[in-house]
């Protein structure tokens, strides 16, 4: 029987549990043995691994967070850590690993797989594994599913957790809207997204915000204050009692300086005399159960991930499971990670044109 492990890594996202549940049960459906690795790569290198049963993932479909834990693991970024991880997988007889996480986690998975032949050779040479284990574990199958609230992974239209986070944000904005209307106040809502304005943009559309700031389209440093105030004033002139401005945490102006919630607060207060408050949603955005769309995505992608592992050959590239125009696809993990990194680097280098054109080539 093949032994396949699943782990969650990086930031938690609603829908990860649903994904793990689908993966575990599909592994069993195919008459293979499912294992979970607890606490991401930290668990991998400390051997925090367990075989699980069908019942172990019962009721996991709707639950938020990740019940098998996640962690940032600096040790896994070092070769010694990965050697330890390889040793543990071999000791458990595991020959395939499905990682649900963001681009960092999937980069780690890709490095792990490409280094695998060297890692097991070293384990053999240092007598940590037997000749028989060495022969049986010549290849490690890796597959990625993308769990992240930011929706910042290239190659896929959406990531598991993004719609749940968006739903949480919209709910919070609706609450704020009620109090804003009562007092005729302005609110600046800061949402997550350092390199990716998807959450801020979709929040703006969903809540009919007055103004939105995202990293990808930097506002003019000279005129953004005036332009925002003009728009807000027009809306107020039509008897609108509330003002909502949504800002992504990575929003920036074209002089490369950040546009922060307090900059916006100051502008609305000083220029328009509005009674303005800032609401930074923080980790509330990650909380709660997965919305139906994320559950569906997590289930369909979990099934596909196991199928991809079972169909992969020693020479086939590691897949990542994506959704494109509502179809579940397999794409090259290496290529997706490379593209995602290029977009993030272009945004960091403030080369927004390049970032946008890279996004369009996805
Ligand atoms: P999120 O999108 O929520 O930030 P992420 O998966 O991108 O999720 P990271 O903190 O970047 O989160 O990565 C999670 C873990 O993946 C790291 O703690 C580390 O163990 C592993 N990892 C990331 N990059 C590498 C790398 N270059 N080499 C080896 N392991 C890595």
pLDDT for 231 equals: 98
Neighbours of 114 (CB within 10 A): 13
Contact 73, 113 (CB under 8 A): no
72 lines ligand 1 (CB under 6 A): yes
150 catalytically annotated:
yes
Q: Does 284 belong to an annotated binding site?
A: yes
Distances (CA, A) of 341 to 111, 158, 182, 337, 346: 14, 17, 44, 6, 8
107 lines ligand 1 (CB under 6 A): yes
Closest residue by Cα to residue 281 from 206, 192, 210: 192
The tokens describing 149, both together, are 């609230």
Closest residue by Cα to residue 110 from 307, 348, 356, 341: 341
pTM of the model: 0.94
**Which residues, 6 or more positions from 186, have their beta carbon under 8 angstroms from its beta carbon?**
180, 232, 242, 243, 244, 245, 268, 272, 274, 275, 276, 277
Strands 243-248 and 276-280: unpaired
ipTM entry? 0.94
- d(CA 297, CA 319) in angstroms, rounded, equals 17
- d(CA 21, CA 236) in angstroms, rounded, equals 49
158 lines ligand 1 (CB under 6 A): no
pLDDT for 361 equals: 64
Digit-by-digit pLDDT tens for the chain (362 residues) are 899 999 999 999 999 999 999 999 999 999 999 999 999 999 999 999 999 999 999 999 999 999 999 999 999 999 999 999 999 999 999 999 999 999 899 999 999 999 999 999 999 999 999 999 999 999 999 999 999 999 989 899 999 999 999 999 999 999 999 999 999 999 999 999 888 899 999 999 999 999 999 988 889 999 999 999 999 999 999 999 999 999 999 999 988 899 999 999 999 999 999 999 999 999 999 989 999 999 999 999 999 999 999 999 888 889 999 999 999 999 999 999 899 888 888 877 878 778 777 777 65
The tokens describing 358, both together, are 């890279």
For residue 73, report the distance from its CA to the centre of ligand 1, in Å.
8
């Amino acid at each position: 029987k093949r032994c396949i492990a699943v782990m969650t890594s990086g930031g938690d996202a609603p829908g990860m549990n649903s994904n793990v549940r689908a993966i575990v049960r599909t592994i069993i459906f195919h008459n293979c043995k499912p294992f979970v690795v607890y606490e991401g790569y930290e668990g991998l290198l400390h051997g925090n691994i367990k075989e699980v049963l069908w019942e172990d993932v019962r009721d996991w479909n709707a639950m938020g967070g990740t019940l098998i834990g996640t962690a940032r693991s600096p040790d896994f970024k070092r070769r010694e850590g990965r050697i330890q991880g390889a040793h543990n997988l071999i000791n458990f007889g595991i020959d395939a690993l499905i990682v649900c996480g963001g681009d960092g986690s999937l980069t780690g998975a890709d490095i792990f797989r490409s280094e695998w032949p060297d890692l097991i050779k070293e384990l053999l040479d240092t007598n940590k594994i037997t000749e028989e284990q060495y022969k049986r574990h010549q290849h490690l199958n890796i597959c990625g599913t993308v769990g992240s609230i930011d929706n910042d992974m290239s190659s896929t239209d959406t990531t598991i957790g993004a719609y749940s986070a968006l739903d949480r944000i919209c709910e919070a904005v609706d609450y704020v809207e009620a109090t804003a209307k009562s007092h005729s106040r302005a609110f600046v809502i800061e949402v997550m997204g350092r390199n990716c304005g998807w959450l801020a943009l979709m929040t703006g559309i969903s809540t009919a915000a007055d103004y939105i700031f995202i990293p990808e389209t930097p506002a003019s440093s000279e005129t953004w204050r005036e332009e925002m105030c003009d728009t807000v004033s027009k809306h107020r002139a039509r008897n609108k009692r509330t003002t909502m401005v949504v800002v992504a945490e990575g929003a920036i102006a074209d002089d490369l300086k950040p546009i922060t919630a307090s900059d916006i607060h100051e502008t609305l207060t000083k220029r328009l005399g509005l009674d303005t408050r800032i609401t930074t949603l923080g980790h509330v955005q990650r909380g709660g159960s997965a919305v139906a769309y994320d559950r569906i995505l997590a289930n369909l992608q979990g099934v596909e991930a196991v199928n991809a592992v079972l169909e992969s050959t020693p020479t086939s590239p590691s897949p990542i499971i994506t959704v494109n125009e509502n179809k579940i696809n397999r794409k090259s993990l290496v290529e997706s990670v490379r593209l995602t990194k290029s977009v993030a680097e272009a945004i960091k280098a403030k080369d927004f044109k390049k970032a946008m054109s890279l996004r369009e080539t996805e």
